[in-house]
Structure 1
Amino acid sequence: MPNHVKRRDPAAAGSIPAVLKMFESEVRFYREIAPVVGVRVPACYQAEENADGTRLVLEDLSAWTPGAEPAVGAAAMRDLHDRWVGRAHLQWPWLRPLGAGEDLVADLFDRTWPELAARSDVSAPVREVGERLVGHVVDAERDIARAGDLTMAHGDASAQNLRTGPGGEVAFLDWEDVSAAPGVLDLAWWLVSSVQPERWSEAVDAYGTSQGLVEVMPSTMVQGYLTMADYPDGSEVAAAWNARLEAASALLAAGRL
């Protein structure tokens, strides 16, 4: 089977990928962390960075099943987080810290929201939370610090970036957003990006705790709104995003699961 080659041109100056050093972080992940990370990731055969951008030659897992069952994915995340709690940021000080790029994300949300709020497929609870976030995204980002101890977070733990092998093993792909953050941040994005609301409890039970979930949910919803904005009004994919954002709105309203 051929290898998977991932190339990235240099990020545009001032862009979110440039400010967060996303492409460079993934190269460093495969060079320094992947050999000891303790969870399944694609084997890396080359990891290069130069003036022309970055280049990774990775094990091709395209034959594996995309995504993971809600509980299985959550349990795999918990395994990652438990391995590195309290020490990932000390062993690799270059890991993205909390708050990195928060001003850029806040500006992007505030610019995107008026068009999103005018759509016909944004339900009332989802619109209400979005309105409250306008001008307060930085506050939401800073609330993450109250959610728990720092560990190694994947940063984009969605079904798109998980694969399930023939024997049920879960692999994590795409480490551009690897960071030092409370692990529950990965759980929140797993729920909002990838898990049907009626199955959220399965994922949370498998993760083992809901502590910190309310604290990270506003920031997670910001990413959900921005992703929903990429899909046409009334589309099936956008409707699914609204349903998950509505479940997150209900969680915030209750202050608990």
Structure 2
Amino acid sequence: MSTPFVKRRARPEPGSIPEALGMFAAEVRFYREIAPTVGVRVPACFSATEDDRGTLLELEDLTAWTPGADPVAVARLLAALHERWRSDAADRWPWLRRPGAAVDLVGSLFDSTWPAVARRTDCTPATFALGERLRGRLPAIVGDAATAGPLTLVHGDASMRNVRTSPDGEIALLDWEDVGVGPGLGDLAWLLVSSVSAPQWDDTIAAYGTSVGLRPALLAAVSQGILSYADSPDGSAEALGWLSRLDEAARRL
């Protein structure tokens, strides 16, 4: 066996979003219970444990694979995952996180972060209008997104940073801390907002196969996009990338 990739997580801080969502324990359970039959390529798991100190995963090391993938291919992969577990995941794994978990914490974080974002010199009018639309309304917006389609197994953080492509074109999904049950369109919406350039949105949506319910899912994903934009330096290439994708979301909303 080659040297595994070791992922250690200490116990999350009390009151934090990772604690409220049980993120680290959920990834351990994913590799123990779901990964063997999930139906998409994920790193092989050699060990998945949890104790009083935190969690420990020993996984197949895919760092030699190319980061990211063709967004059209990722959309097709997500569609297959969602179709495989539609109307089945919630009963099979009742411990999976449900839509809207910790939304009050996330809403408070957004509302406290937004004033500083609104003052940024690089914030575009379209992104500013989106933030104003979200401020104070996140629980209701997330509630609408929870009804955007049938419940299925969702990755929860389907961005290109969690995707790898092998030399022969195989695509793997990494980092399952946000695994849960929800409408599959939530994964598609986050893929678009986090990772897909505006000219590729139509092809990516078409590859997924449906856009019915995408608007509420997209609005919920925008809140996470704005929080990620808030963490990027003013005027940086990273910030401008977030703004370009957020502006595309605004155009469609």
The equivalent of 1:193 in structure 2 is: 194
Ranges of 4+ aligned residues in structure 1 off by more than 6 Å: none
The equivalences for 1:23-102 within 5 A come to: 23-102=24-103
3-state DSSP of counterpart to 1:198: helix
Shift of 1:145: 2.2
State the one-letter code of the partner of 1:33.
I
RMSD of aligned residue pairs (Cα, Å) = 0.7
Shift of 1:146: 2.1
Alignment partners' CA distance in 2, 1:54 and 1:164: 27
1:146 aligned to 2:152? no
1:160 aligned to 2:161? yes
TM-superposition CA deviations, 1:111-161 (whole Å, max 9, x none): 000000000111101101101111001111101122000000000000000
1:240 aligned to 2:205? no
3-state DSSP of counterpart to 2:172: strand
TM-superposition CA deviations, 1:65-99 (whole Å, max 9, x none): 10110101101111110100000011000010011
State the one-letter code of the partner of 2:86.
V
Alignment partners' CA distance in 1, 2:172 and 2:44: 10
Alignment partners' CA distance in 2, 1:212 and 1:128: 22
State the one-letter code of the partner of 1:239.
L
TM-score normalised per structure 1: 0.97
TM-superposition CA deviations, 1:12-63 (whole Å, max 9, x none): 0110000000000000000000001010000000000000100000000011
3-state DSSP of counterpart to 2:210: coil
Shift of 1:100: 0.4
Alignment partners' CA distance in 2, 1:218 and 1:42: 31
3-state DSSP of counterpart to 1:146: coil
TM-superposition CA deviations, 1:192-234 (whole Å, max 9, x none): 0000011011111111111111011111000000000111110
**Number of residue-to-residue matches in the alignment:** 252
The equivalent of 1:255 in structure 2 is: none
State percent identity of aligned pairs. 53
3-state DSSP of counterpart to 1:6: strand
TM-score normalised per structure 2: 0.98
Unaligned runs of 5+ in 2: none
State the one-letter code of the partner of 2:226.
Y
3-state DSSP of counterpart to 1:204: helix
Instruction: Please tell me whether the aligned partners of residues 100 and 146 of structure 2 are also in contact (alpha carbons under 8 angstroms).
Output: no
3-state DSSP of counterpart to 2:146: helix
Alignment partners' CA distance in 2, 1:194 and 1:95: 25
State the one-letter code of the partner of 1:200.
W
The equivalences for 1:113-192 within 5 A come to: 113-192=114-193
Unaligned runs of 5+ in 1: 253-257
1:112 aligned to 2:139? no
